[in-house]
Structure 1
Amino acid sequence: MKHFFLSILILILLSSCGGNDDPPPAPVGANLVFPLESSECTTGVSINDTQSQVTFEWLASANTDSYTLSAVNLETNMPQTISTAATSASLPIGKGTPYSWSVTSRNSSSDQIATSETWLFYNSGSQTTYAPFPAQLVSPLSGSTVQKSIANEIALSWSGADVDSDISGFEIFFSDQNPPTSSVGNTTSTITELVVSVESNTIYYWKVITTDLEGNTSDSGVFEFKIL
């Protein structure tokens, strides 16, 4: 009988110490609402000649108790961030300036995070026409290592957007020097991929210049990758 009660006590202790091994639910990425994708934001409250206060909005996401808003000045690549438990937040940003923005969802019980899509917009300024958004370099990703094709080629791909919807074309610069100064091709607004020749064990640099019908241009910035 003594051994029976001892066994029962051990089982109780084991069950009480076992706890719940299920991981906490991971947060879900938020859906962005405003400023709209590839739009001109005209709702900012003027602060001074160079800045206005813009309110960003998104939808609540599951398993989330806080959000971090990030707005990146695409001319300087400088980010601004703010954390909040709400589904909106305001930041002072430059007038007449292109921005990208996204929201990161967090749950205090989980180590995982989830990031929304990234949207582009121009914060309204005094100009009546806008330069295109800097092209978003899609592939190869910066810092990646890439396998070339049998023909010793890889494809560069990107995406472009413009508030005025008047992109006329793209010029692609590509070389093993940084920054790349060799123009390897021009494409129309509907073609966002270009195949280039590469060599093994070489680091390459590339960027895309976008031009619109008004002659305005934007620079994507330089990405680098290595060929196996």
Structure 2
Amino acid sequence: MKRLIYIFSLCFLMFACSSPSTVEPDPDTLDPEEPSQIERLTVSLQFPHKDGLCNIGADITPTESTVVFEWEASEIAESYSIFVTNLVDGSTIEDETTEDKIGIVLNRATPYSWYVISKRGAVIAESETWKFYNSGPGVQTYAPFPATINSPDMAASVNAGNVNLRWTGSDVDNDIASYDVYLGTNNNPDIHATDVTASELNVSVTSGAIYYWKIVTKDAAGNTSESGVFQFRVL
């Protein structure tokens, strides 16, 4: 009997001291707070190029074409969700795939933004957001992309006094000429400054008010685009 107990104890110790398993961890156990894991899950966008003109695609009609979106696959992702937003009307197309590319039918001569969310189990990671123009027949120049608002963030709270409005403009033709800044305390703000050549403007604001603002980007050919209205609260 003692011999059996000894053998059982020895087997237990051998099992307990054995090397840890090298089996790939369950996807649901990935830690979303661990930077290295999220970095491995996040994909790098490839095509259509950032702030570029997309003239590669299968033309379906004079007004639509199929654009193949591509990204560098994550080594640990199980699936991907792609989001493509029409920057003219704000509509968004969402699609799912397990591959590192997917074809989507888009309007021609239209600006878009896109990004990819990669998934593994319950953990997700979001890529950068890129803008591009889907080319159209006979178009010689393209309007600038709507400006990206950098600060203040949407619905941010700021101190009274002076606030620095900052934005980023981009254009496939690289011919942005200037910006018009709209600012006011109603949700359809009036123009505050015209033909601003920098991508920031320092403005005076009053305590207790909510301010609304937008940027109109103008290029050398007379094309324009609007950023959409943003707001911030003054403490």
User: When the two structures are superposed, what TM-score results if normalisation uses the length of structure 1?
Assistant: 0.84
- 1:199 counterpart = 2:206: yes
Larger Rg: 2
Following the alignment from structure 1 to structure 2, what is the Cα–Cα distance between the partners of residues 206 and 216? 20
SS in 2 for 1:165: coil
The 10-residue stretch of structure 1 (175-184 or 119-128) with the greater mean CA deviation from structure 2: 175-184
- 1:129 counterpart = 2:141: yes
Partner of 1:11: none
Alignment check: 8 A CA contact 1:25 1:63 kept: no
Partner of 1:222: 229
**Match for 1:148 among 159, 176, 179?**
159
Alignment check: 8 A CA contact 1:66 1:83 kept: yes
Distance change >3 Å, CA 62–CA 176, structure 1 → 2: farther
Following the alignment from structure 1 to structure 2, what is the Cα–Cα distance between the partners of residues 224 and 90? 36
Displacement, 1:66?
1.0
Alignment check: 8 A CA contact 1:170 1:186 kept: yes
Note the aligned Cα RMSD (angstroms): 2.1
Alignment check: 8 A CA contact 1:38 1:163 kept: yes
One-letter code aligned to 1:170: Y
Displacement, 1:207?
0.4
Displacement, 1:25?
4.3
Partner of 2:77: 64
Displacement, 1:123?
0.2
The one-character-per-residue Cα deviations of 1:59-90 (angstroms, maximum 9, x if unpaired) are 11243211111110000111111011111111
Percent identity, please: 40
Aligned length: 205
The one-character-per-residue Cα deviations of 1:32-68 (angstroms, maximum 9, x if unpaired) are 0000011110111111121111000001124321111
**Match for 1:24 among 24, 30, 47?**
30
Displacement, 1:186?
3.2
The one-character-per-residue Cα deviations of 1:103-132 (angstroms, maximum 9, x if unpaired) are 111111x3x321111111000102011011
Partner of 2:62: 49
Partner of 2:174: 165
SS in 2 for 1:99: strand
Name structure 2 gaps, 5 residues minimum: 10-15, 17-24, 33-37
Alignment check: 8 A CA contact 2:184 2:212 kept: yes
Following the alignment from structure 1 to structure 2, what is the Cα–Cα distance between the partners of residues 185 and 97? 26
The one-character-per-residue Cα deviations of 1:190-223 (angstroms, maximum 9, x if unpaired) are x211111111221111000011111111111111
Name structure 1 gaps, 5 residues minimum: 9-14
